[in-house]
Structure 1
Amino acid sequence: MKAVIKKIVKYNPFIYAVYYYLCSFLLKILGYFVRTHSDTILFMSFGGRSFSDSPKEIYNYLESRGPNDLQMIWAFERPEEVESVDDSHKVKVDTLKFFLVALRAKVWVTNSSIERGLKFKKRNTIYFNTWHGTPLKKMGLDIKNNQSFSSRADFNRIDKFTVQSDYECDIFSRAFGIDSSKIFKVGLPRNDDLTHQVQRREDLRRKFGFTDSDQIILYTPTFREFEHNSLHQITSNSYMLMIELVKKLPANYKILSRSHYEVDVIKHGDEISDRIIDVSRYPDLNELMHVSDMLVSDYSSVIFDYSITEKPIFIFSFDFEDYQKMRGMYFNIEDNLLSSRTTDGLSQNILNSQESAIQHVKKFKKQYVNFFGTATKQSCQYILKAMQD
């Protein structure tokens, strides 16, 4: 029910306006009575859904190598389910305690947003945003008639915004209204780990129970916000598409299927397969990239991250024309990586064109991923210096 209410607030202009102006005003007033603590950092990943991604990498680095007196707090939707963080360092999002922590924290670290669709950041708060992917599909102000993205977005209040390529700089400056001086060209902290391939892969293959002969496909489709049910829940038919694909591949091929975090309902149809493993809630995407032999995706930003591994990437653009019309893309991904719009074509690419796919990936990586390997260290150096200023 809570999720449904959030969707209604987000997509109903009148209800959202009341929420935005009233709550922002109240939090602004409250902020005058809450002192900023120079040693406190608030972390949030994917709106509080998980302990993951670049914020987790920054947190782990600071915990092991940062000053001992740092107060690092994580915000979660379900803090009781996160065992990796001590109870005293967790807070539940959208509670009074959450907003009080946000108001007193010197630094915010997130890969999406912290202000919950509101405007209450204090002038002396450092807002460090790692974002969660390189854009292929059009975003923010680049989407025509985008009613869910307007001046209410908090991106113009960000102090530093990490990117992993020159390609991203113009897009984020324009689409999110971020001043180019705030763009931090260091890469994404979460991707530093992808430069350490061999040992990680072997350890994780054993952890998952895969044999040397198993061929593991990681499938990471993006979400389609225009596909939703009457409750405004975003739906996906990704599982049914993989059922079609796995039938066309030898028995040693297995699929790790990971839906986008915005997807609420995955349609399964009448068939199931023990060769398709749902890893949508698996906490560490990097581990899935390490353990897999290849990636199948559509218009997801994962393709940029995965290119760092230089393993095969296959594009499954089954709804290319519709998606281009409904959402739009910055370039034609079918011109850059091996692509197919049918499961027949996709299976043939997987079985017969892996070496060709690798050559396409290397060229793609050279063009779209320029910075990686030391993002975590450089991000932490910036944060610690900003806390001292």
Structure 2
Amino acid sequence: MKKLLLTIYLYLHRNLIRFAWSFFTLFKLEPTKIVFSNFNGGGYGDNPKFIAQEIIDAKLPYKLIWVSGEPSNTFPPEITPVRPNTLSFVYHMATAGFWIDNTRKLYYFKKRPNQYYIQTWHGGPGLKKVEKDCESALSEEYKAYAKIDSKHIDLFLSCCEWCSKLYHSSFWYHGPLLEKGIPKNDLYFKDPKPIKEKVFSYYNLDLDKKLIMYAPTYRDNRKTDMYNLDCDKVLAALKQRFGASFAILIRLHPNVSDQDDRFTYTDRILNASKYKNMQELLVACDMIITDYSGCAFDYPILKKPGFLYAEDYEEMKRTKDYYFSLEELPFSLSQTNEELVQNILTFDNDKYQKDCERYVKEINYFDEGHAAKAVVDEITCKIKGHIL
């Protein structure tokens, strides 16, 4: 009976949303209203946050709406949160001049001719193949939504020449690109000292402590059994190789952050899954360990050591394959904790820096610290043109 009632509820809700969307498109469009979405309901973070913050800091008279799925999410007073898939959400989406998202819209929507959809995406270069390049590993439902989503995007942000080519070849997207970097990377070009002090204060760490982050990405099946980093052995190896005392931050992907209890936390093994700003952690940390996450690919820009650890490397290669061979990357790959410890102990910084320089040149990054401003300038230009 419960299953039947749920099915009926979902059917009625879906049709109500479709009707409401058609109804609200009859309302007047508000050119200065902007709806932001971070992973379709996440908190104040990722690329959308930095665009919104640029608008707030510039004191521009725009109406800012944020799609927020959790009442506990906090926002600046200039931002109005709305719950996803509600009538209020549909109203704002149907009447906003701009949509700004960092992932696919995996739901029904009806875009009006004068609305402008900016896709920031949530990452840059990465190891595993994505979108059309791993089409056989994607569900038919996802592919259908992705193609509809790309059809309606008006502007796609790109952090590098490699990504620009990827978005046009593999994202079912053929429209304009804004090649000014991505807003969340602007933080890399600011003074790191206050950011480091903020993070260290948050975790009550002495500033002379070294910090490494373990940030694995999520798997499509949401499994986390491969997140089996031996933190104690890693910390011992880091102290032996670099002659300093380290603490390690454990940062799970937002899609599986509710499983952060699989680790045992201490004063040296710290839970970073709920920390609001990933880029602040990347700036504050001295090193990173990840698997396929794009966050490792930010570290060559910062010239900080990065290590890849993925015990399911061969399995992922069979199902999705990779964009880069290991020879093309500046990072070492480990498939076991023992290999990771060895790669830390034998880390050659001179070789790593040369490999980073080569990699950054090949990728051709656009980031210079002004990506958020470039997006806001684009929005302002569109608003002026619409009003005039």
TM-score bracket, shorter-length normalisation = 0.7 to 0.9
Q: Say if 1:25 and 1:319 are closer, same or farther in 2 by CA, change over 3 A.
A: same
Q: Give me the whole-angstrom Cα distance separating, in 2, the residues matched to 1:345 and 1:19.
A: 54
Residue 166 of structure 1 aligns with which residue? 161
Give the paired residue count. Answer: 366
Q: Which runs of 5 or more residues in structure 1 are unaligned?
A: 1-7, 10-14, 227-233
Q: Which runs of 5 or more residues in structure 2 are unaligned?
A: 1-5
Q: Say if 1:43 and 1:352 are closer, same or farther in 2 by CA, change over 3 A.
A: same
- 1:136-147 equivalences under 5 Å are 136=126, 137-145=128-136, 146-147=138-139
Q: Determine which of 357, 364, 378 is the counterpart of 1:362.
A: 357
- CA root-mean-square deviation: 2.9
Q: Determine which of 79, 102, 107 is the counterpart of 1:117.
A: 107
AA in 2 matched with 1:235: K
Is 1:236 aligned to 2:230, yes or no? Answer: no
Is 1:300 aligned to 2:300, yes or no? Answer: no
- 1:238-253 equivalences under 5 Å are 240-243=228-231, 245-246=233-234, 248-249=236-237, 250=239, 252-253=245-246
Is 1:381 aligned to 2:381, yes or no? Answer: no
Q: Give me the whole-angstrom Cα distance separating, in 1, the residues matched to 2:182 and 2:168.
A: 17
Residue 107 of structure 1 aligns with which residue? 98
Q: Give me the whole-angstrom Cα distance separating, in 2, the residues matched to 1:63 and 1:270.
A: 38
Q: Determine which of 213, 217, 240 is the counterpart of 1:218.
A: 213
Is 1:256 aligned to 2:249, yes or no? Answer: yes
Normalised by the length of structure 1, the TM-score is 0.84
Normalised by the length of structure 2, the TM-score is 0.85
Q: Say if 1:24 and 1:220 are closer, same or farther in 2 by CA, change over 3 A.
A: same
Deviations 1:149-202 (Å, cap 9, x if unpaired)? 2232212211111011111122212322111x4221111011011112442354
Residue 3 of structure 2 aligns with which residue? none
Q: 1:100 Cα shift? A: 0.4
Q: Say if 1:30 and 1:161 are closer, same or farther in 2 by CA, change over 3 A.
A: same
Residue 34 of structure 1 aligns with which residue? 27
Q: 1:107 Cα shift? A: 0.6
Identical aligned pairs, as a percentage? 24
Q: Give me the whole-angstrom Cα distance separating, in 2, the residues matched to 1:139 and 1:270.
A: 28
Deviations 1:96-148 (Å, cap 9, x if unpaired)? 101101111001112114x4421311121110111110242222222233214
Q: 1:240 Cα shift? A: 3.2
Give yes or no for contact 2:17–2:85 (8 Å, CA) kept in 1. Answer: no
Q: 1:25 Cα shift? A: 4.5
SS at match of 1:89: strand
Q: Give me the whole-angstrom Cα distance separating, in 2, the residues matched to 1:23 and 1:168.
A: 38
- 1:50-89 equivalences under 5 Å are 50-68=43-61, 70-78=62-70, 80-86=71-77, 89=80
- 1:187-206 equivalences under 5 Å are 187-204=181-198, 206=200
Q: Say if 1:290 and 1:200 are closer, same or farther in 2 by CA, change over 3 A.
A: farther
Q: Say if 1:61 and 1:286 are closer, same or farther in 2 by CA, change over 3 A.
A: same
AA in 1 matched with 2:122: H
Q: 1:95 Cα shift? A: 0.9
Q: Give me the whole-angstrom Cα distance separating, in 1, the residues matched to 2:215 and 2:85.
A: 29
AA in 2 matched with 1:383: I
Q: 1:205 Cα shift? A: 5.5
Is 1:129 aligned to 2:123, yes or no? Answer: no
